[in-house]
Structure 1
Amino acid sequence: MPVGVITNIFAILFGGIAGTLGGKLMSDNFKEGLNMTFSICSICMGIYAIAPLKNLAAVIFAVIIGTSLGIIFHLGKAVNRGAQGMERFISRFVKAPAQMDQKTFETTLVTVIVLFCASGTGIYGTLTEGINGDATILISKSILDFFAAVIFGANLGAVISLIAVPQFIILMIIFFLAHIIVPLTTPDMILDFKAAGGVLMLASGFRITKIKMFPTADMIPIMVVIMPISWLWTNIIVPLIH
């Protein structure tokens, strides 16, 4: 049972509702301070995931090759186009709040859709749970997502809760695909996979507070190439070196 996925979905759903109902009670200083907290939590999760890695060189290769593939094939732009399509559909039923113009509403909504539906942390956490049943990353992410949804709900309204629907579909597809990968993995590959996901979480942490706008959507292929590279490094490169 995908406990982490379900927890993450409900975090967005109830966070959006809570933000809509209690948004007027939150000061700008409170929202800004909480955003800084999201950033450091994501960075801590990234460090925790990277620490037990097995093959540092393999992880570095995967980060470089995966990000290069994402940039070459314009994955970030494709993710944004998909989010824009979702936004256009949602905007048919929900209009901008009275204090916000429609263009700002639509632009912000696209950003939120990408954050919740196509984040590296979400994809990594879902794959991890699908591979070995460890829901820790997704549950930790759910805590962050709940409060993020509260903040976005305070600004955009109940539309934030609707994002739980496409998020559920995307994460469940990833979860079931992970079951196909399990028989092909080794313990070392899993550790390197977690480390690669940790790199994405670090990048997300820096991006949240706009310290550095890493191309996290373009970095998603890291999670695809890390396992083959880890296997090649362990079984082909290391024996040659020794």
Structure 2
Amino acid sequence: MPTGVIINSLSVLFGGIIGGLLGDKLSARFKTEITLIFGVCSMGMGINAIVVMRNMPAVILAIVLGTGIGLAVHFGHWIDRGAILMEKPISKLFPVRKTTLTDAEFISALVTVIVLFCAGGTGIYGTLDAGMTGNSTILISKSVLDFFTAAIFACNLGYVVSAIAIPQFIIFYIIFLLAKLIFPLTTPTMIADFKACGGFLMLATGFRMVKIKEFPIADMIPAMILVMPLSWLWTTVIMPLLS
């Protein structure tokens, strides 16, 4: 049962609705300051995941190689293009709030939200973790942040933010099912290193949310694919050779 996936999608749905109702009632200062809190929470979740790491060299190598691959194939760019394709049907489903944003600014903001909710490193990591271990803690924690994030964005963009819950659920549910197929091939050490890799992505997401550094989060996602094979290789091949 994809409990975490369902809760996460509902948090975006209801957060968007409440934000649409609130409209301009929230001050700009409130929106800015609460986003900083979201960033700190993401950092805390990331640190909590990193401490379980078993093979640091394998995790670091996965992050470096994965990000390199992501940058080389413009992975983040393709995610942005996918979000642009989703923007058109989504904007037709829900009424758009009257806003001071230009059409270009509105589309840019909406695409940003789609990427954040549907292709964020924390969401993908949390969904994979839930599918492989049955533990939805990461997704449920992320849902709290997503609820308020969706509400803040909906204050400017309107109810259209709620519709993002539909593609988000579809994407995360597919990832959830794939994770169940992967889990029988894993070991506890591989799972721990996988969580640590996801923790680095959440930490980078937090830095980005508080505007300290714009880490290429989308381009870092391939690291999540590499980390478990590299963890297995380090444990079964490299470590015996070193000892």
Contact (CA 8 Å) 1:95, 1:102: kept in 2 or not?
Answer: no
Q: Hey, what does 2:83 align to over in structure 1?
A: 83
Q: Which residue identity is paired with 1:222?
A: A
Residue 92 of structure 1, CA deviation: 4.0
Instruction: Please report how far the alpha carbon of residue 208 of structure 1 lies from its aligned counterpart in structure 2 after TM superposition.
Output: 1.0
Aligned partner of 2:65 in structure 1 is 65
Asked if structure 2 preserves the Cα contact closer than 8 Å seen for 1:53 and 1:195, the reply is yes
Contact persistence 1:96–1:102 (CA under 8 A): no
Secondary structure at the counterpart of residue 63 of structure 1: helix
More displaced stretch, 82-91 vs 127-136: 82-91
Q: Aligned pair 1:209/2:228, yes or no?
A: no
Cα pair 1:59 1:192 within 8 Å, conserved: yes
Structure 1 position 22, deviation (Å): 1.3
For residues 146-183 of structure 1, give each alpha carbon's deviation from its aligned partner in whole angstroms, at most 9, with x where no partner exists: 00001001110000000000001000000000011011
- C-alpha distance in structure 2 between counterparts of 1:81 and 1:151, whole Å: 24
Q: Is the 8 A contact 2:20 2:159 kept in 1?
A: yes
Q: Unaligned regions of 5+ residues in structure 1, if any? A: none
1:131 & 1:110 partners in 2: Cα distance?
Answer: 29
1:176-235 Cα distance to aligned partner (Å, 9 max, x none): 000110110000000000000000001100111221111000000011000000000000
State the identity as a percent: 56
CA distance in 1, matches of 2:219, 2:29: 32
Paired amino acid for 2:126: G
1:59 partner letter: V
| TM-score, normalising length: structure 1 | 0.98
2:155 counterpart residue number? 154
Deviation at 1:87, TM superposition (A): 1.0
Query: After superposition, what is the alpha-carbon deviation per residue over 1:54-83, rounded to whole angstroms, capped at 9, x for unaligned?
Result: 001110000001101111111000000000
Match of 2:35 in 1: 35
| Residue 95 of structure 1: how far off its partner (Å) | 4.2
Cα deviation per residue 1:27-72 (whole Å; 9 max; x = unaligned)?
1111111000000000000000000110011100000011011111
| RMSD across aligned positions (CA) | 1.0
Stretch moving more, 209-218 or 169-178: 209-218
**Alignment-mate amino acid for residue 129 of structure 2:** T
Equivalent position amino acid for 2:144 in 1? I
Q: Secondary structure at the match of 1:217?
A: helix
Amino acid at match of 2:104: K
> What is the alpha-carbon distance in structure 2 between the residues aligned to residue 96 and residue 102 of structure 1?
12
Partner in structure 1 of residue 141 of structure 2: 140
- Residue 199 of structure 1 aligns with which residue? 200
Q: Which whole-Å CA distance do the structure 2 matches of 1:97 and 1:227 have between them?
A: 47
- State the one-letter code of the partner of 2:17: I
Q: Distance in 1 between matches of 2:180 and 2:139?
A: 17
Show the counterpart of 2:117. 116
Answer yes or no: is the 8 Å Cα contact 2:20–2:155 preserved in 1.
yes
- Contact residue 99 and residue 156 of structure 2 kept, 8 A: no
Q: Quick one: which amino acid aligns to residue 15 of structure 1?
A: G
Deviation at 1:102, TM superposition (A): 1.4
The match for 1:230 is 231
Answer with 173-182 or 202-211: which moved more. Answer: 202-211
CA drift at 1:89:
2.5
Give yes or no for contact 1:96–1:105 (8 Å, CA) kept in 2.
no
In 2, distance between residues paired with 1:234 and 1:129?
24
